[in-house]
Structure formats: structure tokens, C-alpha cells
Structure 1
């Protein structure tokens, strides 16, 4: 099985990467991780949709992957989702893509610039139904995500975002990952661990260490299950 693991930064998946022999194919961007029973391509395109879309488009078009996994940390909009929670994100929205008109924000779909069901969108969202039906994934809490270019801290803007585009978690890459995988027809899954509450810029209230630890535990369980199925 040929697996592509996509993480914005190596830092987010370093505990997993450290368990493997690392072969740099393109320094800082693409590594091959290898041990006695698994071989994984690790793509670390950088933070944001632009880098993620470019490098995913490049490598998915020229490689025949059986599975792509997007793994990383995220923020949560809800205090009911504790820091350290691991979420299987199955739906993404791009809430900043749109126009302001007469004091109102209209999405690209509402403004008539995109059809709500224009592939790969479904009712204006990127919905991933083509994920591996694995026990470890099914056990995770399923959630919805917003993919943003800006981490908001202004209470009014954040309130508007949550009202217009309700979601469970927020990242800066998820929608680009789903878009690329769906266009290329690659089976994919997105796994995110919560490190902070969205809007909280006091880093003392974040817990990156816990989020990365929990993410690593789930990733290893998923890979172990995949290995047993091979």
C-alpha cells in the first residue's frame, strides 16, 4: 500500500517520523519514511492553502497513492471539544472566499460565482465520504472544519464567522487537501488534534504538546491497522 502523509509542518508529526528511517527526497518538503513493514511518503508543504494545493497537485498527479492522510493540529470553536481531542474531519468549508456587498458577506456560491454543487463541492462544502472504513477512524469523533487564511481574534468577526459558517474545528489546510484528493480520486482522510480554542492568542492556554501526543497515538493506531490489512 502506497501512503502519502500530509502535514503542514514536520513538527506536528515529528514523534511518528522519528520512528522511521528518513530519506530526504526533496529537503524540507518530501521525505520517505521507512521501517520493517511500512513505507510512507511524508509531505510537509508549509502552512496554508496555497502551498498545500500546489504541492498536493504536483505529487498526486505523478504518483499512484492508495491513501492520503492529512494530519495536524487545529483549533476548536467549541468549549465542548476539549484540548487534546482528536477529530476525524469529514467536511470542510472555505468561509473567507466570497464578497462583501451592502455590508453583508456573501460566499462565492451565494454571489453566483460558483455553483453550490460544482465538483468537488456538495452544497457549497467539500465532503469526504471516500475515507477508509477502519475501526480506529470510526471510533473517533467526527467533525466539520473551516479552512482559513487568517486566525481571527476580534470577537465580532469571530462571532460572524461562527454564525455564517458553523463548524467544529479550524485549520489552514484541510479544504485544499480534500479538494486535491477528490479531484485526483485519491482515498483520503483528515485527522486533527485540538491544541487551542479558536480566537485564543494567549499561547499559555494552548497545549501543543498534548495535541501532538494524542495525534501521534491515533496515527500509529491507524497505521498499525492498515499494516494488518495488507
Structure 2
């Protein structure tokens, strides 16, 4: 068990159960709800309630998500090198303008590089940006738009940026880990492989445990 106190935030109970099935007991798990607002509120509340003498040292946003093809096939894992709010900004006649370019706040968080790279290597994951969206992509046109704006992106989900905002407010580093249940593109719920993605998530958390333990001793 790691000596650092970890908070892992998922959207729903099934994801939390997949993490618990890894058998690693070095973290607390919170199913905060779907979407960036619920994720931010739940994470911030949990961090604020942590005892002063036992604070969290790392927050991880984890769960399943959509994968940009061919970078992240179904059943694979993605570790974020950047957590990006992909639809926070303004739609203009010239295209989408992210919130930071409008002069308000930020649209990306960067996980600690050494730790996130090590987690990606240990889990066999793609190491690339993960996009946070408030509306899941359901058309080829929307997938193409996102890929054009974020050509290195490997996955999209709905909670990472909210978790990262809360962690940043408390000065705590953050990671995002996603197991891929479906391609980003036309919505075909019947083809989603949620069980396969949850199994991949379980295995990823088994594989990352030694990395977290080593990172804590090096801090």
C-alpha cells in the first residue's frame, strides 16, 4: 500500500467497482457523478473534507471513455499527458475558440510528466491528451472536428477536466486514466464493449500500483 493518500474519482459505480476489483488498497474511491460539473463538485468536497493531518497527495480521474481511432482501439488504455476542456469556449463564425484564448481561465491541465509517463509505460497505455466534453460525440462530423483541433488526442470522456480543476484549487497533482469502450464517432450504443473496458481498467490499476509506490518514495 502506498504511503501517499490517493483519491480516485469515477463517474459511476460500475467504474468504482472495477477499480476496487484490482485489489490495490492504496486509494479512496469516489463515484462523483457524470460530467465535469459533478466531477468538480464531488472532488472538491472530498478534498476539503480530508483531515489536515492526512491530506490527499494525488488525485486520479479514472473510468471508461471513447477512443479516437486508430490511436486508442476498444479495450486499450489511455493515460493523459494533457487534460483538455474541449468544448469550453465560444463558437464563432471562424470556428471554436477555447476559453483561455478568450482571456478567461484555462482549458488544459498537465499531469506531472515523470509520473504520468511511468504509469503509461507500466500499463501499456497510449500517452496522449484526453478531451473532456460535456456532450459525448455521436457523429463522424463532430469526431472529425475534435480530431482536427486536437490531432494528438487519444480519448474523450466527461469528467477529467472537472477533477483536475478541483485538484488544482487544492494544489494537488492529477492524473487521468481511461479504458476505451467505444470509438469516438457515430453513436452505436449496442456496439460498446463496456465489460471489456472495465476489465482493462481493473488491470491498469493493478499494473500502476508499483509506480505510485515508487513515486511516493521519490517525492
Q: TM-score range by the shorter chain?
A: 0.7 to 0.9
Q: CA deviation at 1:185?
A: 1.6
Paired position in structure 2 for 1:161: 146
Q: CA deviation at 1:135?
A: 4.8
1:221 aligned onto 2:204:
no
Q: Aligned equivalents of 1:171 and 1:5: distance in 2? A: 15
SS at match of 1:84: coil
Structure 1 runs, 4 residues or longer, greater than 6 Å off: none
Paired position in structure 1 for 2:44: 57
What's the TM-score, normalizing by structure 2? Answer: 0.81
Is the deviation greater in 75-84 or in 134-143?
A: 134-143
Q: Aligned equivalents of 2:211 and 2:103: distance in 1? A: 43
Paired position in structure 1 for 2:68: 77
Paired position in structure 2 for 1:27: none
List alignment gaps of at least 5 residues for structure 1. 21-34
1:113 aligned onto 2:103:
yes
Q: Pick closer, same or farther for the CA change 1:18–1:128 going to 2, 3 Å.
A: closer
What's the TM-score, normalizing by structure 1? Answer: 0.77
Q: Aligned equivalents of 1:159 and 1:137: distance in 2? A: 26
List alignment gaps of at least 5 residues for structure 2. none
SS at match of 2:74: coil
Paired position in structure 2 for 1:31: none
SS at match of 2:115: coil
Paired position in structure 2 for 1:30: none
Q: Aligned equivalents of 2:117 and 2:141: distance in 1? A: 40
Paired position in structure 2 for 1:14: 17
Q: CA RMSD in A?
A: 2.6
The 8 Å contact of residues 131 and 187 in structure 1, kept in 2 or not, is answered as no
How many positions carry a matched residue from both structures? Answer: 206
1:96 aligned onto 2:87:
yes
User: Where do residues 128-139 of structure 1 align in structure 2 (5 Å cutoff)?
Assistant: 128-129=111-112, 132=115, 135-139=118-122
Greater per-residue helix proportion: 2
Q: CA deviation at 1:141?
A: 2.4
Paired position in structure 2 for 1:26: none
Q: CA deviation at 1:40?
A: 3.0
Q: CA deviation at 1:98?
A: 1.7
1:152 aligned onto 2:142:
no
CA offsets, 1:11-45, max 9 Å, x none? 0131342577xxxxxxxxxxxxxx8xx35321111
Q: Aligned equivalents of 2:174 and 2:168: distance in 1? A: 8
Q: Which one has a bigger Cα radius of gyration?
A: 1
SS at match of 1:150: coil
SS at match of 1:79: coil
Q: Pick closer, same or farther for the CA change 1:80–1:19 going to 2, 3 Å.
A: closer
